[in-house]
Amino acid sequence: MKKIKVITILGTRPEVIKLAPVIKELKKKKCKIISKTILTGQHRQMVRQFLELFHIRPDYNLDIMHKDQSLFDITSRCLQKLSKVLKEEKPDLILIEGDTTTAFISSLCAFYLKIPVGHVEAGLRTYNKYQPYPEEINRRLISVVGDLHFAPTKIALKNLLNEGIRTDNIYLTGNTVVDALYSISNKKYSISNKNINGIDFRKKKVILITAHRRESFGGPLAQICKAIKLIAEFPNVEIIYPVHLNPNVKKPVEAILKNKKNIHLLPPLDYLSFVYVLKNCYLVLTDSGGVQEEAPAFGKPILVMREVTERPEGIKAQIAKVVGMDSKRIVSQTRKLIFSAAAYRKMAKAVNPYGDGQAARRIVKAIADYFQL
């Protein structure tokens, strides 16, 4: 029987979460598909717990992470180390996800070696090359060299068609983050994380904050922190902010927000704890892409602390609002959702425009069809 070899390449925490359902689905097809995984190590400490949670044991760990690494460092080390493994393994297809530097360099490396590329979460666009940075250019370049484009939404599919990608190379799948979220949210969870154990989610309006993007470094992040400090003065509010380990985030956040009574600056949460907080919080303020896709599953309003978003589906469904990185606007829009029940109800809808939990199955079926298995 004909078999193909598919190598899935992971580098960061979001990639592990979003590719875990696909890896699981690939393993179900072991009579037709040899599935292997490569961890680049773009994130090291932050990725380990997610590999354990989803029972992923990478076949290779390139371990490229260095302290205070730059995009130049990530790019050069990933390209050099990955090329050696791909030359040795000779896969029929590599699978990458999203718009990280790992994803882009993996696609470039595969192109140099004439290996087909499957792109999970293809077609997201802002059409502003510095928003988000460097992700917008990463994903657009991946689309140029990609062969199988797994679009999570109709808007993403339309973006790809508008850029000249052939219709028969695009597959509308939904987003695999919803697959991962549903698989985790159904598990029993006891609050063992001491950092969130004492927070009263029933009586307090708990606001979940995530802010870590490169374009937020410096002045914009200071503005976000200033807003958080002011929001913490609202009555009956508790703030949970799992702080990214990058010193460009951690140092300014701690300098402005440390030791504030109702602001909980936490180390990055394990995924079970994160999903628990997301399910039970009142409101989400984020500059993350993935959180914009996860929060709607639980009916949580989202204020997006960016100038633009590549996920307009949430804006269209009125479950998310772009508020930028100016402290006054962030505070103003948060105040409205804290004090206006009508404004809150308008956004608090358990509607997820990003998927139904079956994306991984559709992706693996598309791969099987492509190779006529």
| Catalytically active residues, by annotation | 99, 121, 135, 212, 214, 244
Contact of 243 with 253, CB cutoff 8 Å: yes
Residues 257/239/259/287 CA torsion (nearest 10 deg): -30
Of 5, 3, 18, 10, nearest to 359 by C-alpha is: 18
Distance CA 301, CA 128 (A): 25
The helix/strand/coil state of 271 is helix
Contact of 334 with 207, CB cutoff 8 Å: yes
Interaxial angle between packed helices 101-112 and 71-89, expressed in degrees from 0 to 180 and rounded to the nearest 10: 40
Distance CA 58, CA 51 (A): 8
Element (H, E) at 285: strand 283-286
Contact of 175 with 359, CB cutoff 8 Å: yes
